[in-house]
Amino acid sequence: MVSGFEYLASVRLRRELPEGSYLRRLGPVNYLVEGGVLAFDRPVTFLVGENGTGKSTLLEGIAVACGFNPEGGTRNFNFSTRATHSVLGDYLTPARKRYPRDGFFLRAESFYNVATNIDEMDEAPSRAPRLIDSYGGVSLHYQSHGESFLALVQNRFGGEGLYLLDEPEAALSPSRLLTLMGEMDQLVKADSQFIVATHSPILMAFPGARIYELSENGIRAVEYRETEHYQLTKRFLDNPERMLRYLLEEEG
């Protein structure tokens, strides 16, 4: 299932990070510092790993290098509520085979700010048509977190696009995660590419996806059933009583 239409074929460092930069303490960044290239050779790529390994930092850097607003949105969004993003994007070079017609960077932690910015732009007297009409016609603030996520994907994502998603499972129930997978499948069939940072063993089961495991040792490609997320979840679901007994006895 190798894609012939990568909008983002790979990323690499184009210049050295400053000595002493905290980014050098992240294994995935050191992988790039040492000359590694992160290739995107499938329509869907997942970045997985423990908290603090640098998934969101890497995805944010890729998004910035591709021209997206660090806080999320399309390339046309330029709002900033607080400058907390890293400088990694300034040091990355994206390799493209061709440019997408559409694109969006979804950050779970700052999606509230994206929704607010949409409402503010629509309040301008000269605004016509309304921007929110491209997102389903209902303010994203008037929906639950999960509903607004799906409204974005189902209404705003139009295909032939590059879509970067940072932990989309944060707002979605298991059934809605399956809905998201169905939407992703339709968008892939419409010539789209996804790069997703996630902890969800449901989401990373997407057929044919490339899974990169990020750790203090760098970046490596793994199979779905090799991920700790799958193995730990399976052990728990197979025998939750045993897992809980062990966990609570250990903590006690």
pLDDT at residue 1, as a whole number: 42
Cβ proximity of 30 and 24 under 8 Å:
yes
Please indicate whether residue 246 or residue 26 has the higher confidence score (pLDDT). 26
Of the candidates 110, 62, 15, which has an alpha carbon nearest to the alpha carbon of residue 219?
Answer: 62
Lowest mean pLDDT among 135-144, 215-224, 243-252: 135-144
204 has a pLDDT exceeding 70: yes
Q: pTM of the entire structure? A: 0.84
Of the candidates 2, 27, 43, 46, which has an alpha carbon nearest to the alpha carbon of residue 224?
Answer: 46
- The arithmetic mean of pLDDT across residues 57-82, rounded, is 78
Q: Which one-letter DSSP state was computed for residue 186?
A: H
Q: Would you kindly state where each structural domain of the chain is located, as residue ranges?
A: 10-226
- The arithmetic mean of pLDDT across residues 28-54, rounded, is 94
pLDDT category at 227 given cuts 50, 70, 90 is: very high
What CA–CA distance (Å, rounded) separates 225 from 171?
24
Write the CB contacts of 233 (distance below 8 Å, at least 6 apart in sequence).
201
CATH 2.40.50 is the classification of domain 10-226: no
Lowest mean pLDDT among 51-55, 81-85, 190-194: 81-85
